[in-house]
Structure 1
């Protein structure tokens, strides 16, 4: 499933747990509707949307984390596949967009923070940085969050970024994909594309 990656030298990858709105964001970016299941965890292989002439693609990786009705071993395998995919293509991934649910992310992280447990989102954030992939955290569904600044500061804190969040605008991007309000994310992605000397890809963001 993961072997069918188109041969492109430049990629922006969307990662995140199931049900955070990755597919909605993908649709917002590409104008293309992908076949997503009604249940979390239905997308098991990456969705690639590519522009051959530009040698570029956007990839929506399968959701990780808890998925109802999905056995633990399948869940772990999916996570392993995602990690391997990122490791194998790290030199081609110009930016990874880690999508989290603005309303639930901090609670989920806190719920899974134990002595021998690192929450998936935090683990993925640090893993991406470890393999030198610039990461933008797209904090989705912000239209449902009341205490916006407080919530974003808490998220920064959990990710090991020193609050206030506003000093991390190339990393933390509050968005609402369903409402088409994704500018903070596209600005942050453009920043990283610029750093990679790929301003030609701005047209897609």
Structure 2
């Protein structure tokens, strides 16, 4: 079911856990409403949005991680499908936007850190780098966070980026997709598009 990708040479993907606001962010970027279920894990296949003209597609990949009422094997399969998709298209993907919940991300990472466990968000961040995709972490729902700098510094720390977060503005982008506040993400993504000599795609971010 992951084979429906439009034939485009350049791509930006959104990845992350369920319920972090990927679909809201996708709507903010495209002006297009996608079918999102009320229940986590409803999006099981990628949502692609391609514009007529530019050789470019924006893709919202299914959310993964814990989802109420979704069996473990289904969750694992979704994660495997996401990883395989990124591996298969790594050459075309200019930026991988890892969307996290600003209020909960550090706690979730800490809860899943242990000798035999790497938290999904940390694993995905390093995986994107390993396959040569520039990761940008869209730290969503920041309108609900009081201690913004502290939260973002803690997140950097968990991702292996030396705080303070302000020195990672090409990688860490605090946003509130629901409120339409995504400037930090646009700036970060444009930096990588520029490096890839794709300034023509600035219009989409």
Indicate the TM-score class for this superposition, using the shorter chain for normalisation: over 0.9
1:2-23 deviations in Å (ceiling 9; x for gaps):
0111110011000000000000
Report SS of the residue matched to 1:128.
Answer: helix
For 1:52, the equivalent position in structure 2 comes to: 52
Q: Distance in 1 between matches of 2:164 and 2:117?
A: 26
Report SS of the residue matched to 2:53.
Answer: helix
Question: For structure 2, which runs of at least 5 residues remain unmatched after alignment?
Answer: none
- Normalised to the residue count of structure 2, the TM-score between the two structures is 0.99
Q: Distance in 2 between matches of 1:157 and 1:64?
A: 23
For 1:94, the equivalent position in structure 2 comes to: 94
Number of equivalences:
205
Residues 1-205 of structure 1 aligned to structure 2 (within 5 Å)? 1-205=1-205
Q: Distance in 2 between matches of 1:190 and 1:108?
A: 29
- Normalised to the residue count of structure 1, the TM-score between the two structures is 0.99
Report SS of the residue matched to 2:173.
Answer: strand
Question: For structure 1, which runs of at least 5 residues remain unmatched after alignment?
Answer: none
Pairwise CA distance, 1:114: 1.0
1:66-89 deviations in Å (ceiling 9; x for gaps):
011100000000000000000000
Q: Distance in 2 between matches of 1:7 and 1:82?
A: 18
